[in-house]
């Protein structure tokens, strides 16, 4: 419609100029032909200049919109993703993208996630920087997480991943993407809005309406700045790297061990997925032996509040299934599991699970058990002064 309007105005302008010239030709006599040609040139130049000015003015408002609605009988907005993937593949500069990702609970969902990852990979291969702000994690199905981890590992110089607990203020807005914001033309802002749908016996919010606003640089810059503001919010947003990916994106449990479980070989036997991530300590607690062991004659370790004291240990992360097994091993009739803030030596404060013995009194530590703790502390490179505290229990051991 805009192109037809431009052509119509051009024709009308030319007709007006011709009419003016004819009127001047009739009005002027032979003695005034020079003056006639002068006025004719002014009229033509004025018409051309006016058309040029109009073109410049309207050039600033040439954005176009495309809307994709998910059909009522469909779970996925396939046309939206096809168009979106083409936009990403053809990007020339940076891409800033937010969203929850994909649940991938059925083959079609996995296919859409795979194609989306492929489109991003094409952009990365073309040296387009992609900055992804993940607004949700799907711990129960890690298919989408595997796609993200692959991109991080293969394109570390061009793919950045962040995770945030905040969302845009617009209700129902599931994702925003800014493509080529530095271009005066061929830039895009994408919005995906969710709609409430009935799935079986449950209601769920699914991707419903996708909107692309193209050739609107001001809008691109505005939403790029919004995304960057969320990324730079150190309180609510974390940078995801290969080193912390499993801890942040996959359902892993953190466990602080201060007893015999500091021994990595023992932990691997009990929980094969267990990996040490750091040494750490709990402030204002001290190590005690206040309960008889279920499998030993002497006392086993626990911790109790104590001012100006620290208990050092090892922080492990492990899978959900292995953590359930650890719950079984640490007899719930003997130990209570608790979540506490642990000062990690490598990652700052972490909320970790640990086990506290149900106290029975001051009990001499089991000698074999104590030596295992001391050996594990040495292997873990715990502070020497703390290891000496452990050794001081030897005169109490039985």
Residue positions forming the annotated binding site for substrate: 255-260, 369
Sheet holding 159-164, edge to edge: 64-69, 202-214, 188-199, 173-179, 95-99, 130-134, 159-164, 237-240
Which residue among the candidates 121, 214, 248, 330 is catalytic per the annotation?
A: 330
Instruction: With H, G, I as helix, E, B as strand and everything else as coil, classify residue 87.
Output: helix
Sorted by sequence, the CB contacts under 8 Å of residue 101 that are 6+ apart come out as 113, 134, 136, 137, 138, 144, 145, 148
- Residue owning tokens 């240990």: 313
CA pair distance 138, 148, nearest whole angstrom: 12
* Structural contact between residues 2 and 61, judged by C-beta atoms closer than 8 angstroms: no
Q: Are 244 and 317 in contact (CB under 8 A)?
A: no
Q: What angle, rounded to 10 degrees, do the helices at 143-154 and 107-125 form?
A: 10
- Pull the structure tokens for residue 147: 């796609």
Do the Cβ atoms of 318 and 276 come closer than 8 Å? no
Report the alpha-carbon distance of residue 156 to residue 133 in Å, rounded: 15
The percent of the chain in helix, strand and coil, each rounded to the nearest 5, is 40, 30, 25
The helix or strand, by DSSP H or E, that contains position 337, with its residue range, turns out to be strand 335-344
Return d(Cα 195, Cα 206) in angstroms, integer: 6
Instruction: For residue 279, report the phi and psi dihedrals to the nearest 5 degrees.
Output: -85, 160
- Whether 144 and 113 have beta carbons less than 8 Å apart is answered as yes
Q: Is 319 helix (H, G, I), strand (E, B) or coil?
A: strand
Binding residues: 255-260, 369
Asked if 312 contacts 278 with a C-beta cutoff of 8 angstroms, the reply is no
Query: By C-alpha distance, which of 393, 368, 391, 366 is closest to 378?
Result: 391
Of 242, 246, 276, the closest CA to residue 262 belongs to: 276
Identify whether 78 is a catalytic site residue: no
Residues serving a catalytic function are: 330
């Amino acid at each position: 419609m805009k192109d037809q309007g431009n052509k119509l105005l051009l024709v009308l302008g030319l007709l007006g100029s011709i009419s003016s010239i004819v009127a001047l030709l009739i009005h002027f006599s032979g003695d005034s032909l020079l003056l006639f040609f002068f006025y004719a040139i002014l009229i033509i130049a004025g018409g051309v200049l006016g058309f040029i000015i109009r073109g410049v003015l309207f050039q600033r408002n040439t954005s176009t919109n495309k809307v994709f609605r998910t059909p009522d009988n469909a779970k996925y907005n396939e046309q939206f993703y096809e168009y979106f993937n083409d936009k990403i593949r053809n990007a020339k500069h940076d891409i800033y993208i937010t969203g929850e990702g994909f649940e991938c609970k059925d083959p079609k969902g996995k296919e859409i996630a795979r194609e989306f990852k492929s489109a991003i990979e094409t952009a990365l291969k073309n040296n387009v920087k992609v900055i992804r702000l993940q607004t949700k994690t799907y711990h129960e199905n890690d298919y989408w997480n595997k796609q993200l981890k692959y991109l991080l590992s293969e394109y570390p110089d061009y793919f950045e991943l962040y995770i945030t607990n905040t969302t845009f203020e617009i209700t129902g807005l599931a994702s925003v993407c800014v493509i080529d914001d530095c271009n005066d033309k061929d830039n895009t802002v994408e919005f995906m809005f969710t709609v409430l749908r009935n799935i079986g016996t449950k209601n769920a919010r699914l991707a419903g309406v996708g909107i692309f606003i193209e050739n609107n640089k001001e809008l691109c810059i505005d939403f790029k700045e919004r995304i960057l503001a969320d990324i730079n919010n150190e309180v609510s947003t974390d940078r995801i790297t290969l080193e912390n990916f499993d801890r942040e994106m996959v359902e892993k449990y953190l466990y602080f061990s201060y007893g015999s479980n500091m021994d990595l070989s023992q932990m691997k036997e009990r929980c094969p997925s267990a990996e040490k991530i750091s040494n750490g300590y709990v402030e204002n607690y001290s190590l005690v032996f206040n309960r008889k062991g279920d499998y030993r004659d002497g006392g086993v370790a626990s911790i109790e509040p104590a001012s100006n004291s620290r208990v050092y240990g090892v922080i492990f992360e492990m899978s959900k299934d292995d953590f359930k097994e650890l719950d079984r091993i640490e007899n719930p009739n003997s130990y209570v599991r608790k979540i506490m803030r642990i000062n990690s030596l490598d990652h700052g404060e972490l909320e970790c699970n640990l086990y506290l013995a149900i106290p029975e009194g001051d009990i001499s530590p089991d000698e074999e058990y104590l030596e295992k703790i001391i050996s594990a502390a040495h292997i873990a490179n715990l502070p020497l002064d703390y290891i000496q505290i452990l050794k001081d229990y030897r005169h109490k051991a039985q």
